[in-house]
Amino acid sequence: MRNINELENVFGQADDDFVDNVHHTLAYLQKSRNRKPVRIGYYRIAAVIAIICVLSAGTALALSNTWGILDFLSGRRLDVEVLPEASKIVQTDVPQEGTQTDVAAFTVREAVYDGQSVYIVLDVKPSSPDYLLLGPDVYPSDQTASMGPIFNGGTGTIADYAQENHKEMLQTSVGISGANCSIDYLLEEDGTLVYMIEGRYEGDSAAPDVELRCVAVPFVIENGKYTRDMDSKKDTTLSATLKNTGTQESVISTEPAVFDDCGVRVDKITLKSSAMSTYAEVEFTVIDEEKYAETDGILFEFLDSYGERIPSGAASGGGIVTIDDTHYIEKISLQATEKLPSEVILRGYSYLDKDRYETHTFEMK
Amino acid sequence: MTSDEFAERIVAMMQTLYRVSYTQLSQSCDRDEAVQECLYKAWEKRQQLKDERYMQTWIIRILINECHNIQRKRERELPMEELPERAAPTGADYELHDALFGLEESQRLPLVLYYVEGYSVGEIAKILHWPQGTVKSRMRRGRKELKKTLCGEDSLSCET
């Protein structure tokens, strides 16, 4: 007979990477006091692999070394559509400084900044053909397919591949200082690791300087196991000057609405449009704590006139921002649209239970 | 609280941070992101913690919020069906692992906080912002599901 008190045995011990991450974050906080640490979000690698496998168009692009922002969005993301005008706001000549480390050069290839989100494609070019660059969540024991389309159909681990080809493995990471980022990456045939980075970065500046923290850490064998040699870590801060193309249009809801089922009042909805995405903000207030608690955290989704959920946009979701104990803002990226609507339909739902709650229509001006 | 004291207490909570984030997030990179953001927010708002005795509960509350934020972000990026299956970590009890992670999160989380982290029902209610009755009913349903999964109704002894 099993005893429920054995549940502790389900977890094992925190792995080395988790422990390293906590120590690294604490060290950063101690060093920089109140500055926000560089935080990196990742697309789930397994999902990325799944996408890689079915996208032959993406593979063709990879082989010709021409992955740009729009290629990443169309070739590596599901159902993401941008407006045709998006191609006109892509910066291909990005002023930048501080790009080199001993082991790799970090260069911004393309950028888009629409005043709401930053989208950057960045090359990490190894300084020696003997270096094999890996993404931030890839390890030598992973399958080669996790490095990108050029390894499609290949079998065996990255460590095996590196050994057979006499290459030294380095883990790399790139993040935008002060922004929560989502990252995708792939290895090109010449050994360049290409990153697509996207993050919310709101500001009014016409030409903001964005800091990118770039890190490369070699793997070494210790006690028969691959581990990152943090003493040999190389990093650089790359400063890139972006052009703020701004949002085109903005509308705000005219009246609040009470979502009685879930104990909240939606105070305001704001929509801003750009060629990349429609950026939505839903500001809400908890008016019945018990009902709100029952929802396990309400989320909102936008519906079209047929009651279908409007697809996500190119930007990652901004999550929930807490204003205070009862006030929150949910930031949502919706598919880009030529013209913002004069009314929107909003439905509440519970993330955990998938319960759908009531729907309200808001007039937008 | 000095930064050294803060760091010392966080390091002492290492396994708890790991287990709570593991309970909610299947991907190690997501767990790293959640913990990093949790520590930043906790450090930034440390003056709001009126009684340092409750630091652990406070940190767990922040971490759970961050895990939820990441779940929501991920849901918008890719359909949930794309989520890879969670493999049990080295040294874990595989059978119990799979049974626990077969539960809905709303049942799994209070069970972990109660049986693994040692919180009372009242404390869990505060951490999760649920009424105590909800905590109890979800734990009850979770235990029942675990019993069913682990080969028969009487295969799991619950000392509560």
- Please judge whether B3 and A296 are an interchain contact, meaning their C-beta atoms are less than 8 angstroms apart: no
Domain ranges of chain A: 69-241, 249-363
pLDDT in tens, B111-133: 999 999 999 998 898 888 788 88
pTM: 0.61
Cross-strand bridge partners of residue A125: A105
Residues B147 and B107 in one domain: yes
User: Are B63 and B118 in the same domain?
Assistant: no
The answer to whether residue A63 scores a pLDDT higher than 60 is no
Answer whether A41 sits within 8 Å of B90, measured CB to CB. Answer: no
- Same domain? For B57 and B105 the reply is no
DSSP one-letter code for B78: S
Q: What is the identity of the amino acid at A294?
A: E
Whether B19 is covered by a domain: the verdict is yes
| Strand (E) or helix (H) holding A25 | helix A16-32
Output b/e per residue, A136-169; b: 16+ Cβ within 10 A: bbbbbebbbbbbbbbbbeeeebbbebbeeeebeb
Of the options 3.40.1050, 1.10.150, 2.40.50, 2.60.40, the CATH number for the domain spanning A249-363: 2.60.40
CB-closest option in B36, B82, B158 to A39 = B36
Residues B72 and B96 in one domain: no
Q: Name the minimum distance, in Å, from the CA of B57 to any CA of chain A.
A: 17
Output the domain CATH number for residue B108: 1.10.10.10
Q: CA of B80: how far to CAs of A81, A146, A351, B22, in Å?
A: 20, 20, 11, 17
The total of structural domains in chain B comes to 2
- pLDDT the model gives residue A44: 34
Q: With pLDDT > 90 as the criterion, what percentage of chain A qualifies?
A: 41
- pLDDT of B54 reads 82
Provide mean pLDDT across the span A282-290: 93
Residue A247 CA to residue A274 CA, distance in Å, equals 5
CATH number at residue B77: 1.10.1740.10
Does the beta-carbon distance from A353 to B106 stay under 8 Å? yes
Closest CA to B61 of B13, B6, B133, B8: B13
Task: Evaluate if residue B157 carries a pLDDT over 80.
Answer: no
pLDDT at B154 over 60: no
Which pLDDT value is given to residue A263? 92
From CA B107, how far away is CA B134, in angstroms rounded?
10
What's the confidence (pLDDT) of residue A317?
64
Confidence of residue B86 (pLDDT cuts 50, 70, 90): low
pLDDT score, position B10: 93
> Which of A7, A72, A141, A225 is the best mutation test for B, with the most CBs of B within 10 A?
A7
For residue B28, tell me if it sits in a domain.
Answer: yes
- Mean residue pLDDT of chain B comes to 82
Residue B100 is part of which domain span?
A: 89-152
Residue B158: inside a domain: no
Q: Which of B10, B91, B159 sits opposite A5 (nearest CB)?
A: B159
Residue B155: phi and psi, rounded to 5, are -90, -5
pLDDT in tens, A184-214: 888 998 999 999 999 888 777 888 888 898 9
* pLDDT tens digits, A134-152: 988 788 888 888 787 888 7
**Residue A288 reports pLDDT greater than 50:** yes
How many Cβ pairs closer than 8 A exist between chain A and B? 193
Using CA atoms, how far residue B7 sits from A6, A26, A39, B29, in Å, is 30, 6, 18, 21
A7 vs B15, B40, B112: nearest CB: B112
Q: What is the chain B residue with the closest CA to A5? A: B115
- Which residues on chain B are in Cβ contact (under 8 Å) with A2? 96, 150, 155-157
User: Once rounded to an integer, what is the mean pLDDT over residues A213-241?
Assistant: 88
Residues shown for chain A: 365
Q: How far is B7 from chain A (nearest CA, A)?
A: 6
Do residues A41 and A138 touch, judged by C-beta distance below 8 A?
A: no
- The torsion of the CA quartet A148, A150, A156, A157, rounded to 10 degrees, works out to -40
Please check whether residues B24 and B41 belong to one and the same domain.
yes
**Mean pLDDT score of chain A, rounded to an integer?**
83
**Domain co-membership, B80 together with B112:** no
Identity of the residue in A12, A30, A137 whose CB atom sits nearest the CB atom of B3: A30
For residues A345, A350, A354, A356, the Cα torsion angle rounded to the nearest 10 degrees is: -40
By the 8 A CB rule, do B75 and B24 touch? no
Q: Using 50, 70 and 90 to split pLDDT, how confident is the model at A48?
A: very low
φ and ψ at residue A21, rounded to 5 degrees: -60, -45
pLDDT digits (tens, 9 = 90+) for B23-53: 999 888 889 989 998 998 888 877 777 777 7
Residue A251's pLDDT is: 96
* Domain A69-241, CATH class in plain words: mainly beta
Smallest Cα–Cα separation from B62: which of B32, B101, B17? B17
Question: Within 13 Å of residue A359, how many CA atoms lie on the same side as its CB?
Answer: 14
Q: What share of chain B has pLDDT > 70, as a percent? A: 84
Name the pLDDT band for A60 (thresholds 50, 70, 90).
Answer: very low
- A312 pLDDT more than 90: no
Could you write out the three-class secondary structure of A288-305?
CHHHHHHCCCEEEEEECC
Separation of alpha carbons B38 and B40, rounded Å: 5
Residue of chain A nearest B70, judged by CA positions: A319
Whole-number pLDDT of residue A1? 52
C-alpha A10/C-alpha A113 separation (Å) is 44
